[in-house]
Structure formats: structure tokens, C-alpha cells
Amino acid sequence: MDDRKLSKALSYYLRHAPHELGLQLQPGGWVEQAELLDKLQAQGIAASPADLQRVTATSDKQRFAMEGSRIRANQGHSTPVDLELLPQVPPALLYHGTPQANLPSIFEQGLLKGQRHHVHLSQDPDTAAKVGERRGKPVILHVHAQSMHEQGHQFFCSANGVWLTERVPPQFLQAPPATT
């Protein structure tokens, strides 16, 4: 299996469907690498410890982390798991890239987490643009994270530098000036 396919399989099983492999995530989202490899094998996915290590080391977004004999997805889960993140003070501004078509709903409801555990926010506009591009030409929203924090909203930062919060109400969002 090539690295991209293995990375996708890891994202799927470690973030969304560990039960489909018969895996139970430990606190922090960790699983034993050996157990994961055995269970992947049982699904017809042949991967070696070296494959796991390479995919973890080369993931463009540092999706996975290894610690001792264990591996986890750093963020992006939809399956219930306690990632043991500690609340942190966010930077004044964070960014979120999303297709234009989502804006009316976003400015009505705010940014919602959907299936994920949190709304995902980026530290810089370029990263937000890359996230938004997955779904079409993105608009980069400014999120007034410091004001949110001052008003009691909690922020977390994942091991791979994604800022996470429960919800962003519309009053903390700002769209860029229209350029036509």
C-alpha cells in the first residue's frame, strides 16, 4: 500500500472508526502500534512498523504522533476521545478558510464544529487557505480569538498547531473586504 493510502486508512481508523478495527483508543487517542498493525492486517491492509514511522514522519500536516510503542492522530477526531488538551491563551487573531457559499450560514449561525470535536482554526492565513481550498475557492475569515478568550471561550492547541474551540459566534468573525 502506498503512503497516501496508508495515511488515509490511519486517519479513518484513528480519528473516526477505531471500533471497525476492534480498537479502543486510550486517553489521548493512543493505540499500541503493534495492535494497530495486527488489526490492519486482518482488514487486508499490510503495513510494517517502518511504514507507520515513515507516514508519521512525512505527513504534511503532522497528522499522527508516536510516543514509545504507541501512535495516535493528533486531531480531527469524530469518535469520542479525550485528547487531554489543556486550555491555552490564543493569539489575537486566528483564521478559517471556507468556500464563499458557506458565508451566509456562517454569519447567521457562527462557525460550527459539525461532526468534529471542535471548530478548527489556523494560526496564519496561508494555512487557512489550504484548509479551505479542499472544498473550492476559499474566503479567509478573521476570528477575533483574543476577544473570544476574554469573554470566556476556551481554546486548545493540538500537537500539530491547529487551534480548536467549541464554536465561533458570528460577532467574532470578520470577512475580508470584497475584491471584485
Residues that bind ligand HQG (CB under 6 A): 61, 63, 76, 98, 102, 105-106, 109, 111-112, 114, 116, 120, 131, 135, 162
By C-beta, is 17 or 46 nearer to ligand HQG? 17
How many angstroms from the chain centroid is the CA of residue 99? 18
Q: How far is the CB of 136 from ligand HQG (least distance, A)?
A: 9
Q: Which residue is nearest to ligand HQG (CB)?
A: 98
- Cβ distance 41 to 48 under 8 Å? no
55 Cβ neighbours under 8 A, 6+ residues apart: 3, 6, 7, 10, 64
By C-beta, is 4 or 152 nearer to ligand HQG? 4
3-state class (DSSP) for residue 159: coil
Q: How far is the CB of 125 from ligand HQG (least distance, A)?
A: 14
30 grid coordinates? 493512543
By C-beta, is 17 or 42 nearer to ligand HQG? 17
By C-beta, is 38 or 133 nearer to ligand HQG? 133
Q: How far apart are CA 120 and CA 94, in angstroms?
A: 10
DSSP state of 79: S
Q: How far is the CB of 172 from ligand HQG (least distance, A)?
A: 13
3-state helix, strand, coil in the chain (%, to 5): 35, 25, 40
Beta strands in 26-101 (DSSP E): 31-32, 64-67, 70-73, 93-99
Q: How far is the CB of 11 from ligand HQG (least distance, A)?
A: 6
By C-beta, is 36 or 162 nearer to ligand HQG? 162
Q: How far is the CB of 61 from ligand HQG (least distance, A)?
A: 5
